[in-house]
Structure 1
Amino acid sequence: MSGKVLLAESAGFCYGVQRAVELAEKTAAEQGSCWMLGDLIHNAHVVAELVERGVHKTADSASLGAGDTVIIRSHGELKSVLDELERRGARCVNATCPNVVRIQRLVSQAEQEGRQPLIIGEPHHPEVMGVASWCAHPLVFDGPDSVKLWLSENSENRETPLTVVAQTTCIRELFETSWKILKKECTNVKIFDTICNATHKRQTEAAFIAGQVDVMVVVGDRKSANTKHLTEICMKECPRVLQVESADELPHGIFTGCSAAGLTAGASTPAGIIKEVYATMSEEIKAAEGKEESFEELLNQSFKTLNTGEKVTGIVTAITPTEVQVDVGAKQAAYIKLSELSDDPTAKPEDIVKVGDEIETYIVRVNDVEGYAELSKKRLDAVKVWENIETAVEEKTVMEGTVTEENKGGIVVSVKGVRVFVPASQSGQPRGADLSAMKGQKVQLRITEVNRARRRVVGSIRSVSDEARKAAQEAVWGSIEVGKHYTGTVKSMTSYGVFVDIGGVDGMVHISELSWSRIKTPSEVCKVGDTLDVYVISFDPEKHKISLGVKDHSVDPWTVFMNKYSVGDVASVRIVKLMTFGAFAEVVPGVDGLIHISQIADRRIEKPEDVLSEGQIVDAKITAVDEEKKKISLSIRALLAPTVEEAAEEAPVEE
């Protein structure tokens, strides 16, 4: 880890910030200019760039009205401001983070139900002030101390029905401590964990990295709440923590004597600034480590002593048909027999190592008399694998392996040469599934049990797949919007519709939304396993329900019909329903016409099914179109040759 910068994977724009910036840029590009009330996000660099793109900034909402387009910031806005903008005719583009919108709805709903909304967060933060404005009498506390004080002020407070939410960037420890006090002291409390998953992941990751490094750098605007919280969290784990807005603020010499440094960034920090800080930190650490080794260190290294059973690192100097020669920086010549190079007897040495490669080995035997040392890469690899396996249990590391066989009660997975038994219940497959079908598959798993003495290892594929599924579900719920399109897979079917997996979450496509054509069962248009392009009609995060559609509502079937046919035209139609008075036939998908019983045949019939059947394709003449009521009259009889009786009736009468 020496000389490296550990960069947090979750550093930089969160979904809500990215969405707000993209909406502002798109609106400005489409309209030439627009407005933002205050800072769209808490980052001066990004706000300045938006101003250059035509997103003007104002703190006075009263100056905006009809003809103005206003981007509502990611933190949300006071409800009174939104109502006033709407009253004056301004067009509002709501860039409020969906997670914040959810909290606004929760406090509003709580008050409608006669409950007291209680918000844990920073009282003067724009997000908290905006959320509080969605109810008449909110309570806002900054942590457990404020909660205790409120409870002590009046014993009746403990009887108040409470709905508790949190600022999206709240430190989890503060929120959990607060709601646990309320849960214990109050008689009627509903808790909603509204801390953004991305925020929690960012804070957890920052704490983990800070505990491993000598210096921790947090990048972000000083007005950003989540950046401030990241700094506070890192200070608990690392003795030296810096919060900067750009690379220019890094003090010279701060990384002297630093073996490793960490870097994370707030949710409003653009990637370009993070990259610049990362590059500067890497260069500073490299420069601080550039000193030459002392003569004494070099001398001690040249007289390295080799001892049986130790690990030693050397450089491959030669490869022969029988051995690999290694320079380990000692007086003795060292080599590895081919049998000690790899477990694979068919492996060629030149495929495993090359001259000049650095190689770590295990010292098998040292012969000081003859001046050589025998090494083994194979034994060290085996030791390392077992060490990795044991560490994986403690750290719950995800490992990869290949399924080699089906065993009694489960399967066997080879992980770096170690046999790992996975019980059937942990295979990730449904109960009773054919596990032999998994043979040869690469899988990810966690090691749950290790007995090195008995060489027994047990693992779980299910824990990894469940976690991945949960992460995918959180990602979907974190970004879902009405109208958003997904490519999904049909998971199951019912008589009234199909369930479609859109990435770990199932949504329902009602049969009426599957096709413009009239269908009786979903199986007429799709089957389990099919891929469908769907879009969100509505969703309920609380009940975890999503309504999806497949039909393209931008296409009006009636317009398609009117553009294609006129009265007198002949159309090939499909019989979709038989009634006592006639038959309905599909002319184009989504548009049906009526063939009256008198127009089905060239003779009198008792009922339509005497001649027609559902699903049958027939030619029919369009005899009338009622555009206002969108009704069509069809006739099969008009295309048939007249009978003798009809011809006689239509013949002219001779005088």
Structure 2
Amino acid sequence: MNVKIAKEAGFCFGVKRAMKMAWNELETNGDIYALGPIIHNKQAVSKYEEKGLKTVEIIDSIPNFKNMIIRSHGVGEKVYKDANEKQINVVDTTCPYVKKIHRIVKTYHDKGYEIIVIGDSKHPEVIGINGWCGDCAKIIKTLDDLDSIKFDNSKKHVVVAQTTINLELYNEIISKLDKKLDNIRFNNTICSATKVRQLSAKELSQEVDCMVVVGGKHSSNTQKLVNICRETVETFAIETKQDLNIDKLKEYQLIGITAGASTPDWIIEDVVEFIESI
């Protein structure tokens, strides 16, 4: 049984930066809150919570004058205002690529443009993006959504995308939007790390007998890798090596491995070593 790892897998720049900033803050202060899970990987989050990180879902759960981490997914404008009112010290680990989307959305919203976000309305990144235009964005997750959303063609529109959205889906949606709306500006804000990871996973899936995708069940970019690999080959989605089906894996000789952008190196290494030991 042989293992081949995708050229691009695991922590992206934004997640690596956020995790380092959060760890440094924990070592300095210890008493700090995170507004939502710092990344979509419960094993990694557990390590930080053991260090003293407190994860909460709403800012009202954070006492005044405390320290608060804004995770890499980013948040809406109101969170910053609420933090200022509560005199909370903000440690902002928002991914710079996501920050760029916030600036685009706010700038064009202030100019009177209608905002369109291609992404999942329930994902924290999209919720945060929507918070920079007063939560009035039209959010498109699938091609079918285009038929149910009403657009005002007399207005100007600007489009941004969730950083982890599938590139092929993005292209299909903007092609339809371009035909539907007369005055529209497109911004391909899909993260470059997302693009190369998806391409790398697709290429590897064509070379192996099966794929193992390592990452959190709630990680958007991880699930997109799973779907991409499944288009080509038998694919197993796992969070840790404990989720592997050994009997099933024994049916294959060459196993490909990739991992979502919020999967730590140590989890990937555990999976590789475990498979190689079978």
| TM-score under structure 1 length normalisation | 0.41
Distance (whole Å) between structure 2 residues aligned to residue 139 and residue 80 of structure 1: 19
Distance (whole Å) between structure 2 residues aligned to residue 165 and residue 47 of structure 1: 29
Distance (whole Å) between structure 1 residues aligned to residue 61 and residue 247 of structure 2: 49
Alignment of 1:172-571 (within 5 A): 172-238=167-233, 240-284=234-278
1:84 equivalenced with 2:78 (yes/no): no
Distance (whole Å) between structure 1 residues aligned to residue 63 and residue 83 of structure 2: 6
Aligned equivalent of 1:126, options 102, 108, 124:
124
Distance (whole Å) between structure 2 residues aligned to residue 149 and residue 58 of structure 1: 34
The residue that corresponds to 1:170 in the other structure is 165
The residue that corresponds to 2:56 in the other structure is 58
SS at match of 1:274: helix
Aligned equivalent of 2:24, options 23, 26, 30:
26
Distance (whole Å) between structure 2 residues aligned to residue 49 and residue 255 of structure 1: 29
Distance (whole Å) between structure 2 residues aligned to residue 85 and residue 104 of structure 1: 18
Distance (whole Å) between structure 2 residues aligned to residue 86 and residue 211 of structure 1: 51
Distance (whole Å) between structure 1 residues aligned to residue 2 and residue 200 of structure 2: 17
**What are the Cα deviations for residues 47-103 of structure 1, in whole angstroms up to 9, with x where unaligned?**
111111122222231132432010101111232222111111000010011111111
Q: 8 Å contact 1:144–1:178 — kept in the other structure?
A: yes
Equivalent AA in structure 2 for residue 23 of structure 1: M
Comparing both structures, which one devotes a greater share of its residues to strand?
A: 1
Q: 8 Å contact 1:65–1:89 — kept in the other structure?
A: no
Distance change (3 Å), C-alpha of 1:5 and 1:192: same
Over alpha carbons, which structure has the higher Rg? Answer: 1
Q: 8 Å contact 1:7–1:264 — kept in the other structure?
A: yes
Q: 8 Å contact 2:65–2:86 — kept in the other structure?
A: no
Distance (whole Å) between structure 1 residues aligned to residue 103 and residue 15 of structure 2: 20
Comparing both structures, which one devotes a greater share of its residues to helix?
A: 2
Equivalent AA in structure 2 for residue 191 of structure 1: F
The residue that corresponds to 1:9 in the other structure is 7
Q: 8 Å contact 1:66–1:91 — kept in the other structure?
A: no
Distance (whole Å) between structure 2 residues aligned to residue 159 and residue 198 of structure 1: 36
Distance (whole Å) between structure 2 residues aligned to residue 70 and residue 19 of structure 1: 16
Bigger RCO (CA 8 Å, 6+ sep): 2
1:98 equivalenced with 2:96 (yes/no): yes
Q: CA deviation at 1:148?
A: 3.4
Distance (whole Å) between structure 1 residues aligned to residue 206 and residue 119 of structure 2: 26
Q: 8 Å contact 1:120–1:167 — kept in the other structure?
A: yes
Equivalent AA in structure 2 for residue 188 of structure 1: N
Equivalent AA in structure 2 for residue 82 of structure 1: Y
Distance (whole Å) between structure 2 residues aligned to residue 118 and residue 59 of structure 1: 26
1:147 equivalenced with 2:146 (yes/no): yes
Distance (whole Å) between structure 2 residues aligned to residue 63 and residue 212 of structure 1: 49
Aligned equivalent of 1:116, options 85, 110, 114:
114
Equivalent AA in structure 1 for residue 262 of structure 2: S
SS at match of 1:25: helix
Q: CA deviation at 1:222?
A: 0.3
Q: CA deviation at 1:145?
A: 1.8
Structure 1: which 4+ aligned runs deviate by more than 6 Å?
none
Distance (whole Å) between structure 1 residues aligned to residue 260 and residue 224 of structure 2: 9
Between the two proteins, what is the percent identity of the paired residues? 33
Q: CA deviation at 1:4?
A: 2.0
Equivalent AA in structure 2 for residue 104 of structure 1: H
CA RMSD after TM alignment:
1.3
Distance (whole Å) between structure 2 residues aligned to residue 103 and residue 148 of structure 1: 25
Structure 2, gaps ≥5 residues long: none
Q: CA deviation at 1:282?
A: 1.9
Q: CA deviation at 1:173?
A: 0.9
Q: 8 Å contact 2:115–2:138 — kept in the other structure?
A: yes
